[in-house]
Structure 1
């Protein structure tokens, strides 16, 4: 997924869900960066509360997780001595539920990304300190040392690996959203889109992929109709009325929207997903630290501990993101190639 497109398409997809659900997230200030809450209110020692103050984006879940000495011993000395893990989010100005945004208390940075950062910090025996930035300033924060690690839906790319170390933790996927009553499913093959009408956001990575499929089908004498709407409310009205068969967008935004309309007449479901990197590579979302910082291994080991012991699955389930699970966190795994990053 091209970095400039992935960010834009993610925000557009999740903005759609926000508009439809009218979620009162409480907007963060519009400056370059700000400090957000550094602790999870109400959590006891050895516990992390997933989805607290998430305002309906997650099912609040409390999990047991304590320091693992064998993993915290791997930390760079300076980070270990500090007693804290400074976690960066690129969620200013408005946030993007369910991934990262200001919660219903109008102050706590919540979402799947901050919560995984809190879980990892607990394994490392560190206090999580969250800082919120604009997307561009998030990387400035890593470069300058203001941030130890970003948990902020950062796609692993070969270009970014020139400056940063990665510990992967989630698939980077797109998805098709359809009415719950629909019997159609995307099987991973573009040919089963023949005869369908699909909406997509203009200028996004998913539009690029969808138009490539449309061109392939046209060469085979088959038709795929692509529809565009001025806003996402219109997209979902078209989906509910049957004017389109599916909406193609970022999987997290679709997962969020599904939870928001689950108990309404316009309930929807996920009809299948596709890698944001294309058919030859599964895109990955990764914790991002300064290259050579020595954090990649303890971060990956902490995520793998959470995977083995069930807290990782509980985290994904709480945010309806179980379909983006990885079997293992990898250190600097293959990323999007330089000609597509």
Structure 2
């Protein structure tokens, strides 16, 4: 291959990839408000019952503030705004509503996902609101106040003939892309076993390393369905407008799996935050926050303190 041919190949590859990123940057603001000002954020009044439930001896990390750790994994849950420093998304909006409810100013602390357990245990912040799922293992060290369902999404090309995937038989014989060693893979392998036992075709799992590779496999027709955390796909679908949801899957299938505000074990704060969440549900503020980020599918009927979590493996 000549230098010119190699250069042409690289440029061609770049032209295939560059529009995806350029389109992302241009279109994101059209779908979700990623501005640092966040004029559409939902604000609420103080919740007297939640405030009264906070233990009198509880010491907040910063007096007068509700200090919350959040991992900026990407929209619509949490990401950096267009100023590259303000954290925005569904989880920051929810944290703000909770802070309003308990009469404190919100202080968000961006953290790497791996760092939140140590920071919370050491008292650097009062809570973590960052898509943390409730598990029995985590319950040994932390308390939980649930605020969303943990869902995976089934998404297909907009032009696909697939209408709905609700149970194993609906996915029989389909080619589905997932990440290796993920919860989605674990569940779909069980679905495939059920299909085979029922005399149906197995599910064909294909593995791709990242979102871009999975989306490209879907759009090229190499796979029929993409399965990954629901919120991620909601954002991609709204941004690109060429994939659509045909079903959701509990992250704890066959049981429900909930996402929760995480607090220090035995701190006494969890019950107050559960009360605050249930008041947000009752007043409708909760539904407005989820709708703002197109996550209404993940709504809970009520918040619970330390519900059953995913079992230890």
Q: State whether TM-score is above 0.5.
A: yes
Q: Residues 61 and 314 of structure 1 are in contact (CA less than 8 Å); yes or no, is this contact kept in structure 2?
A: no
| Aligned match of 2:228 | 249
| Aligned match of 2:4 | none
Q: Residues 170 and 326 of structure 1 are in contact (CA less than 8 Å); yes or no, is this contact kept in structure 2?
A: yes
Question: Helix, strand or coil for the counterpart of 2:305?
Answer: coil
Distance verdict in 2 for CA 1:234–1:135, change over 3 Å: closer
Give 5+ residue unaligned stretches, structure 2: 1-19, 27-31
TM-superposed CA distance for 1:52, in Å, is 5.3
Question: Helix, strand or coil for the counterpart of 2:173?
Answer: coil
Instruction: Determine the C-alpha separation between the residues in 2 that align with 1:287 and 1:128.
Output: 14
2:99 alignment partner, one of 121, 129, 133: 121
| Aligned match of 2:63 | 82
Instruction: Determine the C-alpha separation between the residues in 1 that align with 2:306 and 2:186.
Output: 26
Instruction: Determine the C-alpha separation between the residues in 2 that align with 1:129 and 1:246.
Output: 39
1:53 alignment partner, one of 14, 35, 38: 35
| Aligned match of 2:188 | 210
Q: Residues 188 and 203 of structure 2 are in contact (CA less than 8 Å); yes or no, is this contact kept in structure 1?
A: no
Instruction: Determine the C-alpha separation between the residues in 1 that align with 2:238 and 2:212.
Output: 16
Instruction: Determine the C-alpha separation between the residues in 2 that align with 1:294 and 1:139.
Output: 17
Q: Residues 178 and 268 of structure 1 are in contact (CA less than 8 Å); yes or no, is this contact kept in structure 2?
A: yes
1:235 paired with 2:214, answer yes
1:161 paired with 2:139, answer yes
Q: Residues 90 and 135 of structure 1 are in contact (CA less than 8 Å); yes or no, is this contact kept in structure 2?
A: yes
| Aligned match of 2:246 | 271
| Aligned match of 2:24 | 22
TM-superposed CA distance for 1:20, in Å, is 8.8
Instruction: Determine the C-alpha separation between the residues in 1 that align with 2:194 and 2:230.
Output: 24
TM-score normalised by the chain length of structure 1: 0.77
| Aligned match of 1:289 | 263
Question: Helix, strand or coil for the counterpart of 2:54?
Answer: coil
TM-superposed CA distance for 1:221, in Å, is 4.7
Distance verdict in 2 for CA 1:60–1:254, change over 3 Å: farther
1:338 paired with 2:303, answer no
Farther off after superposition, 322-331 or 192-201? 192-201
Instruction: Determine the C-alpha separation between the residues in 1 that align with 2:181 and 2:21.
Output: 20
TM-superposed CA distance for 1:223, in Å, is 3.4
Whichever of the two has the greater Rg, that structure is 2
1:326 paired with 2:308, answer no
Kindly indicate which of the two structures has a greater share of residues assigned to helix: 2
1:302 paired with 2:276, answer yes
Instruction: Determine the C-alpha separation between the residues in 2 that align with 1:271 and 1:234.
Output: 20
> CA RMSD of the aligned region, Å?
2.4
| Count of matched residue pairs | 286
Distance verdict in 2 for CA 1:138–1:124, change over 3 Å: same
